[in-house]
Structures are given as structure tokens and as C-alpha cells.
Amino acid sequence: MIKEGIIGASGYAGCEVLRLLLMHPAVEVTGVGARSFLGKKVSDLYPSFYNVTDLTYTTDEEVIAGADVVFAGLPAGISEKYAKACVESGKKFIDLGADFRLEKEEDYIKWYGKAYEDKPLHEKQVYGLPEVHREEIKKASIIGNPGCYPTTVNLGLYPLLKHHLNAGTKVIIDSASGTTGAGKKLTEDTHFTKTNESYHPYKAGNHRHTPEMEQELSHMADEKIQVTFVPHLLPVNRGIVSTIYIPVKENLTLEEIHHIYTDTYKDEQFVRVLPLGMNADLKFVTYTNYCNISLHMDARDHTLIIASTIDNMVKGTAGQAIQNMNLMFGLKENTGLNFVGPSF
């Protein structure tokens, strides 16, 4: 059994990793860390774990000592020291936060207001999108788990950019996320009275996930891709729907593009390209590790419209992290992740 530890296990991301790992047939969760809740049972904070696990929150150092792989659900700027401790002791480290996603330190400084404290450590990082970086992930010691918004966007655009079907380098993206995407800490925007029966944009044009998208999309296209990204807050707990607009070459039909998408993802269990005429709907991916993609065309100016939807806490966070862990330890990639979503 692979021994698993979770740091930051009192937050939504860490809690979701725990929920999924407890159902994983090849692992044992040996420690969960949360500085604010030392000595308390996980079930004291999350009653769904009552009579499921007796795990109690311990120190981060104890979590690392007892694990083969450590998941970290921490705010930006905190994960480096834990990653270093894991690497030095021969353990794997999967960061659910932003500290190991960006290749350029100047991007991290600009968007997160922090510099790298251990620059050589970042040479070991691998961006953890399995459908694109599978072989690198298998050999990695540090994984930067993708952001939830970038997961929808990167998977939505990968076949198009990989095959150079775009007619421009500008992408416009509207995304809408459930409130768990904002984390557990309460803000003015996440009060019930603000979110209930509401829908609104936030951080329009200056969201921190923008450089992550541009980095990965530019690699896919072999040219610089510029993103205009506007996220919105949905009054639901889970789910992301990203609607992506990009001009495509005029000689391409929607049917031809759809064929390229289905062919690109034909061996990918967790990416489902829907038949033409269907619309991606977040209801049918909640509590699963699936990304559903639907394709549409505005024929007037030959703009491809891509709808890409995931559960932000599973494929957008914990499920993808476990998918990465499976690859790192030579397990079947779908181990512990074969969940079917709700039908209604």
C-alpha cells in the first residue's frame, strides 16, 4: 500500500483529497495535517467522515515522516519548504496550490507578489495535466497540480492548438465556477446572501490563472497565445463551465474539427467529447473526474465555441492530483477514480 499524507487537510481541497483517497484500493492515508486543528478528529470538522475514519490532525512534519507521497492544499507561497523536505527524503510531492505551476519566476512575482525562495527546486517541477504531460509526470518528484479554470481551458483547446487549427492567437474565455473554487475562507463575495440567486464576474482581466493558461496554451500551439479571461461566480457548490471563443481556419468544418477532437482524446477516459448538438453541462460531471467538452461554430465569422466543464473539486483539484499520483507510482491511471456522475 502507498502511504499518503495530506497537508492543509482542513481546507476544501485537502478534505476532497482525503474523501477520494479513503476509497482508493491501493493507498493508506497515514497522516493529515492542519495547524489550526491539532488533535481534533477530521470528523469533528467534517461530519461526513464520522465512523468512516478516526484520523486526527497532526503536525505537518509528522505527516511527511509517515508518507510516501504528500498532497499539499496550501495558500500560495507556503509549499516550497514542504516540497524540499519531501524531495530530500525521497518522497513525492503534489502541490494543489500555485507554487509549482508557473515556469517563469517573473510570472509568479507579477501575479502572486512572491519570489521563489528555492529556485533549483523549481527545476524539478512538472505541470500535472496527465492528458498532455503523462510521460513527464511518471518520472516526476514534484507535481504542480493545474488550477481548476486552466484545466477546463487547456483540455478544451489542446486538440485545436496541437493541430494548429486556430486562425489567430487571441482566445476569449468566459468561465463560471461554484463557490468552493474560492476556498473555505469566507469573503464578501462568498456570503450566502451575496451568492444566492446571483451571478457575476470577478477579477475580470486580472485573474491569477491567466499566466498559467497562456503558458500551457503557448506550448501546445508552438506560438504565443494571448488570453482574455473573465471568471464568474455561480451560486452552486461545485462545477466549472468554461466557454471558449477562438477563430479557426476557414477551410475547416465543425464536423472535421469534431473528428480531430474525438481522435485526439479517443484513449483518454476522463475527457469526453460530446456528440455534435449536445451541450456540456456541469450537472453531469459533478463528483466525477470527467471533463465534458462540446463544440459549436459561429459560421458568420468562423469562430469555434468550445464548452468545457468539470467538477472543480475533482478533475479540477483532488481527482486530478490522484490521477497524477497513480501515474507517479505506476498504477493504472483510473485507479480509485471511476465515479459516474448524477443522472438528474
- By annotation, the residues acting in catalysis are 148
For residue 201, give the amino acid letter.
P
Task: Give the contacts of 236 (CB within 8 A, at least 6 positions apart).
Answer: 178, 179, 282
Task: Give the contacts of 245 (CB within 8 A, at least 6 positions apart).
Answer: 171, 172, 173, 303, 304, 305, 306
**Edge-to-edge, what's the strand order for the sheet holding 170-177?**
200-201, 226-233, 170-177, 240-247, 303-310, 291-298, 271-273
Q: Report the distance separating Cα 335 and Cα 166, nearest Å.
A: 35
Are 50 and 43 a contacting pair, CB within 8 Å?
yes
Task: Give the contacts of 211 (CB within 8 A, at least 6 positions apart).
Answer: 102, 107, 110, 111
Q: What is the largest CA-CA distance in the chain?
A: 64
